[in-house]
Amino acid sequence: MIVRLQDIPFFDAIKGLIALFLCLGVWWYFNRTRLSLKESIAWIALLIFQVGIGIGTYWYQTNKYADSEGGDAGALFLNATKLLDLRSESPADFWSLIATGKPQTIAGETAIIHMKIWNKSNHYGLGNEKQRMVRATALLLFISGRSYSIVFICFILIAWIAIQMFDKALTRIFKNTGRKFIWPALFLSPSTLMWSSVPGKESLLLLGSAGIFWGISAAKSHRLPAILWLSLGIFLMVELRVFLLVCALPATVFWVVVQLAPYLNKWASALIGLGIPLIALLMVQVWAWKHQPSVLRSAYQSQEEYERQNGESYARQVQQPGLNILEKLKFKRLDLEVEALQKNPATGVRLRAFDGSLKELIAKSPIYLIRGMTGYEWFLLDWKYWIWGLERLVFFAACLVLLWAFITEKYANLNVGQILLWSLSLCFLMGLLMPVLGNISRYLAVIHLPLLGMGIGHFGIKIEH
């Protein structure tokens, strides 16, 4: 049975409020000397806003998607509850599933069968993050005494702490000069607020991204904490969404180039590290607009065709496990299209075919990049979705601001280059794979904050000077 808000007992809600106030008290005690009263009120207001957004989003998901376990957040609570119920029947199976994900008896195997999101057959070696989230949520429910409100608050607090870490990192980078311009970017990113305010992996991914970003910014001044946060961030990315970490590889290459900059001409290091990919990006944008990458969801193929493609996908994975990375991308996208067809999302679009060849990947790369960057497809849908399109345009503007900062300052800024390349790499992957526009915004929300903060913060510095 779906765990709806109206089904949560009143006393459970009271426990959640008590836990929230206790955590706020601890937070204020440790930050009372660092933050002014105005700043403390601003952070608390953000937390209250996140709680409100979370309650509204959870209520919407569990009611709109009642036939599919209540959306992602509802399904997570439902399956975690089923796992927790196993503890009364077979404690050994419960702790084995929590620790290793593997049952010990028939009771555990039976419980897994009834957990719909536990098994994901077509993940192509990318990991089953849903299973890990069910295990983590079941453990939190056990620790909290089956209090859904406390677990709900835990996810929101994790995202709230991550946003504060972004603020600290950006403040360190800009030395406070652009802070009043950074805060709106941190507070008002719709995708970040929406997806990090409900139970799900986004809160933990946001913490992982914040840990990596904070660790990079503090590597010289706080070496040990930086290493610890970097390690935690990498661990969370690997466990929950490894492709987010893979998309950081171009940024890592850029970091290496910058480290070699003292041995190179500064223009040479800039050209190699960031100039060439960004100039190429701007050139392909004009070309890409002439090639419509998708059409509205009314043009979906037939159910039979999708079932055929999904059957081929599964057969190739089982019978030929040695798929190369391009074939994995091809079949992974087919799986996502099948899932989109089954759920019939309001923001679904049909993607043009991708045959899994390197030639086609290169030929269509501008199409995929423009999809992920600009979000113009939102404006092809109903007007009520345009806020997400506007958010993507702000994201695109932040990319251009950072590019301008790089060009005008005439040096390879490490933080600018890393965040920009990380963002663009993820835009490309999302544009390639995702037939649902909501999922593109959802995953890009993990890196929205550092990019928006740096773009708007830099703009703020220019205004103040």
Is pLDDT at 154 greater than 80 in this prediction?
yes
> Is the domain of 198 the same as that of 251?
no
Is pLDDT at 186 greater than 80 in this prediction?
no
> Is residue 229 domain-resident?
no
> Is residue 238 domain-resident?
no
Single out the residue in 184, 210, 236 at which a domain terminates.
210
Torsion-angle region of residue 37: left (phi > 0), alpha (psi -120 to 50) or beta? alpha
> Is residue 226 domain-resident?
no
CA distance 138 to 143: 9
> Is the domain of 158 the same as that of 264?
no
Confidence of residue 161 (pLDDT cuts 50, 70, 90): very high
User: How much is the pLDDT for 463?
Assistant: 41
> Is the domain of 200 the same as that of 348?
no
Confidence of residue 129 (pLDDT cuts 50, 70, 90): confident
> Is residue 242 domain-resident?
no
- For 241-274, b/e burial (b = at least 16 CB within 10 A) is bebbbbbbebbebbbebbeebeebeeeebbebbb
The strand ranges marked E within 298-441 are: 349-351
User: How much is the pLDDT for 240?
Assistant: 84
Q: Which of 432, 417, 429, 372 is nearest to 396 (CA)?
A: 372
More confident residue, 180 or 356: 356
Task: Give the side-chain half-sphere CA count within 13 A for 57.
Answer: 22
> Is the domain of 293 the same as that of 185?
no
> Is the domain of 438 the same as that of 311?
yes
User: How much is the pLDDT for 136?
Assistant: 92
Residue range 364-384: average pLDDT? 81
Q: Which of 220, 68, 51 is nearest to 150 (CA)?
A: 51
CB 129, CB 201: distance < 8 Å: yes
Confidence of residue 342 (pLDDT cuts 50, 70, 90): low
Query: Which range scores top for mean pLDDT: 116-120, 140-144, 190-194, 370-374?
Result: 140-144
User: DSSP string covering 435-452, please?
Assistant: SBHHHHHHHHHHHHHHHH
User: How much is the pLDDT for 153?
Assistant: 93
Q: What is the pLDDT of residues 286-307, one digit of tens each?
A: 444 444 444 333 334 455 554 5
> Is the domain of 310 the same as that of 447?
yes
Single out the residue in 185, 210, 235 at which a domain terminates.
210
Does residue 295 sit in helix, strand or coil?
Answer: strand
> Is the domain of 255 the same as that of 205?
no
User: How much is the pLDDT for 278?
Assistant: 61
> Is the domain of 78 the same as that of 204?
yes
> Is residue 241 domain-resident?
no
CA distance 437 to 191: 12
User: How much is the pLDDT for 178?
Assistant: 54
Query: Which range scores top for mean pLDDT: 151-165, 394-408, 414-428?
Result: 151-165
Confidence of residue 223 (pLDDT cuts 50, 70, 90): confident
Query: Of all residues in the chain, what percent carry a pLDDT higher than 90?
Result: 8
More confident residue, 122 or 262: 262
* Phi/psi at 247 (5° precision): -70, -15
More confident residue, 336 or 215: 215
> Is the domain of 204 the same as that of 281?
no
Confidence of residue 243 (pLDDT cuts 50, 70, 90): confident
Single out the residue in 154, 187, 210 at which a domain terminates.
210
Instruction: Please give the tally of structural domains in the chain.
Output: 2
Query: Of all residues in the chain, what percent carry a pLDDT higher than 70?
Result: 69
Does residue 296 sit in helix, strand or coil?
Answer: strand
85-to-44, 69, 137, 144 alpha-carbon distances in Å: 35, 17, 13, 14
Residue range 133-137: average pLDDT? 91
Does residue 247 sit in helix, strand or coil?
Answer: coil
Is pLDDT at 309 greater than 60 in this prediction?
no
Q: What is the pLDDT of residues 407-459, one digit of tens each?
A: 666 444 566 777 777 888 888 888 888 888 887 888 777 777 777 777 666 65
What is the CB neighbour count within 10 angstroms for residue 464? 10
> Is residue 189 domain-resident?
yes
For the full predicted model, state whether its pTM sits above 0.85.
no
Confidence of residue 379 (pLDDT cuts 50, 70, 90): confident
Residue type, 303: Q
CA distance 29 to 35: 11
Torsion-angle region of residue 200: left (phi > 0), alpha (psi -120 to 50) or beta? left
Q: What is the mean pLDDT of the chain?
A: 75
CB 170, CB 450: distance < 8 Å: yes
Residue range 143-147: average pLDDT? 90
What is the CB neighbour count within 10 angstroms for residue 78? 19
Q: What is the pLDDT of residues 252-271, one digit of tens each?
A: 766 666 666 565 565 565 56
User: How much is the pLDDT for 156?
Assistant: 93
Q: Which of 346, 348, 395 is nearest to 373 (CA)?
A: 395
> Is the domain of 46 the same as that of 193?
yes
> Is the domain of 417 the same as that of 277?
yes
> Is residue 221 domain-resident?
no
Residue type, 453: G
> Is residue 193 domain-resident?
yes
User: How much is the pLDDT for 301?
Assistant: 46
Residue range 180-196: average pLDDT? 72
Confidence of residue 63 (pLDDT cuts 50, 70, 90): confident
> Is the domain of 177 the same as that of 320?
no
Poorest-pLDDT segment among 93-97, 236-240, 255-259, 273-277: 273-277
Angle at 341 between CA 354 and CA 441, to 5 degrees: 75
User: How much is the pLDDT for 288?
Assistant: 45
CB 372, CB 429: distance < 8 Å: yes
Which residue in this structure is represented by tokens 């859904």? 148
What is the CB neighbour count within 10 angstroms for residue 125? 11
**Which residues form the domain of 73?**
5-210
